[in-house]
Structure 1
Amino acid sequence: MSEHGLPAATAMSAAGPGRAPAGRANIDYVVITAATAGGGHRPNDDAIGVNGWVLTAEDVNPLDLTVPVVDHRAAVVSLTDGLAGAAGGDVAAAVAARRLTARQTQRSATAEAFREAFRQADELVHEASTDDLPGIGCSAAAVLIRADGRAFVGNVGDVRLYQILNGYIGRLTRDDRARTEEGPSGADRVVTRCLGGRLRIPVEVHFTEIPVLPGDRLLLCSDGLYDTVSDSEIEQALKAQRPGHAIAGLVKAAKSRGGGNITVVLLEPRGRSVRGPAPVLTPQPSPQPSPEPPPQPELASAEKTSFLKKLLRG
């Protein structure tokens, strides 16, 4: 367990390397590259949360955001995915994304506060249910990145978060879903835990804490990607191409193979390391608050302005 009550990150897949301690880091900002595509047969109910913003759209080419991380602030990013086959999934995903990524200062960005954000998101999704939209729910994964290089990760359902170290990919989240008797494909699997849902019981969320250094990469994705594109394909795309081209290519590949709603979010912490040894590959087993207003994501280019019309401010 970490000093903040979270288990140490040991769930990287066999393909993904761990890393020996590498000193402290100063994370100054996080570059985010995201793309999404609807599955065609139903609305795109994926939602991206960034520091209290909620981004939703049917189809979007890579969107570039820069989120500042300074001593009194943290960057929080989430991906939520409404339950397949259930009405109101888009509502659940937006409600959860807004709460999970609500502003966090460096002082308030603790493991306990991160856990509480998931608990409150679960309650808010339940409260958003109506007679017309009963039992709405969503899968969710979120990461909180502090200026000191500590990051908290949480997930429930089947949204994944990967970490890419030295070009190798490893998964930091656990899937909460089971295969039905109808077949082995992703379409024949059902989510076994979620935020909200028909049963009002305390949600069990997977949590971990990881160190993050400038140059690391984190990738959030919905099941529409990983059900059709393998981890090794994701790894190779990120090695061979620039972020925007890689993300666009992954979404296109998944869509061509029949993927449902597909969303991919790449996070790249930027800053500097402080008095630490160089990262070393080590195999691991699988498995004061500022009165200023909260920082908003900065658009990388004017052509993305139309996408901001989809933002919901909490």
Structure 2
Amino acid sequence: MSILSAARTHVGHVRTHNEDDMLEHPVAGIWAVCDGMGGHRGGAMASHLVTRTLAALPVPADGQALLTGTLGAIADANAALQAHAAAQEGDICGTTIVALLIHDRHFATVWIGDSRAYRWRQGRLERLTRDHSLVQERIDQGEITEAEAETAPQRNILTRAIGAAPQVEADVRHGALLPGDLFLLCSDGLTRLLSDAEIAEEMTRPTGLCDRLVDLCLDRGAPDNVSVLAVTATDFPDADAQTVRLPMPPDD
């Protein structure tokens, strides 16, 4: 199949440095967005460390190897950031990650933190990730609504991040890939300013998608770094086949 991707990142109108980092590694089947935390050096170093570790992964033999390698790279990056924090006397730096893995005719999303993945399929937008944040926990417990979460004072507090604890667990979601599926990976610099409905409206027009989304954030003040990465798969061989072997492991 042919896989097309485009990406754009911007420091925004308030921050003086960009702590986001992105990876496009089509040979291995990995695309990722990371949003660093911990100040200029710490956050940028953390996000770049993760993308650099993923970029070093070899071409996988199958979907299981791709997923296992990605999770292993995240664990290695977490250990390195923990060691860095110890050397700096507890000065913790970390990063979120949202990654898209594609092998054969299947995909997996892997995430930690509040960077998100969306899929546009046959005229419908679906959020594939669920934020690891205090606000999301409050939503899940029925304490606040999705609308109230947009202005909640604790919306910046994450419950998971690479580098924040000795062990970190990623969530994984996977499924079959269909011709024309359009995926969007983004940092929270986008989702703090645009609603899912607004994102859906823009995804109806794939050409220039990343530029339009970033420009919308800039028009609204862009108080944070904003990064977007779009991936779509086309030209499927035997696209009408009914039976497909799943190379990704089953959900728990």
The TM-score with structure 1 as length reference comes to 0.64
Q: 1:163 to 1:187 in 2, by over 3 A?
A: farther
Q: Secondary structure, in 3 states, of the residue corresponding to 1:77?
A: strand
Answering whether residue 42 of structure 2 is matched by residue 88 of structure 1, we say yes
Q: Considering fraction of residues, name the structure with more strand.
A: 1
Answering whether residue 24 of structure 2 is matched by residue 50 of structure 1, we say yes
Structure 1 unaligned runs (5+)?
A: 1-26, 52-66, 68-72, 278-314
Find the counterpart in structure 2 of residue 167 from structure 1: 123
* Alpha carbons 1:81, 1:140 under 8 Å: kept: yes
Answering whether residue 54 of structure 2 is matched by residue 100 of structure 1, we say yes
Find the counterpart in structure 1 of residue 141 from structure 2: none
> 1:27-42, aligned counterparts within 5 Å?
27=1, 29-39=2-12, 40-42=14-16
Structure 2 unaligned runs (5+)?
A: 139-148, 243-252
Answering whether residue 220 of structure 2 is matched by residue 261 of structure 1, we say no
| RMSD between superposed Cα atoms in Å | 2.6
Q: Considering fraction of residues, name the structure with more helix.
A: 2
Cα distance in 2 for residues equivalent to 1:262 and 1:132 = 30
Q: Secondary structure, in 3 states, of the residue corresponding to 1:196?
A: coil
Find the counterpart in structure 2 of residue 225 from structure 1: 190
1:252 to 186, 202, 215: 215
Q: Deviations over 1:48-69 (max 9, x none)?
A: 0122xxxxxxxxxxxxxxx4xx
Q: Secondary structure, in 3 states, of the residue corresponding to 1:123?
A: helix
Cα distance in 2 for residues equivalent to 1:211 and 1:118 = 24
How many residues are paired up? Answer: 224
* Alpha carbons 2:98, 2:109 under 8 Å: kept: yes
**1:133 Cα deviation from its structure 2 partner:** 8.3
* Alpha carbons 1:237, 1:250 under 8 Å: kept: yes
Amino acid at match of 1:105: V
Answering whether residue 24 of structure 2 is matched by residue 78 of structure 1, we say no
Cα distance in 1 for residues equivalent to 2:117 and 2:55 = 15
**1:276 Cα deviation from its structure 2 partner:** 2.6
The TM-score with structure 2 as length reference comes to 0.79
Find the counterpart in structure 2 of residue 135 from structure 1: 92
Q: Secondary structure, in 3 states, of the residue corresponding to 1:74?
A: coil
Answering whether residue 77 of structure 2 is matched by residue 121 of structure 1, we say yes
Q: Deviations over 1:168-207 (max 9, x none)?
A: 1101111011249xx853774211110002x32x102111
* Alpha carbons 1:74, 1:109 under 8 Å: kept: no
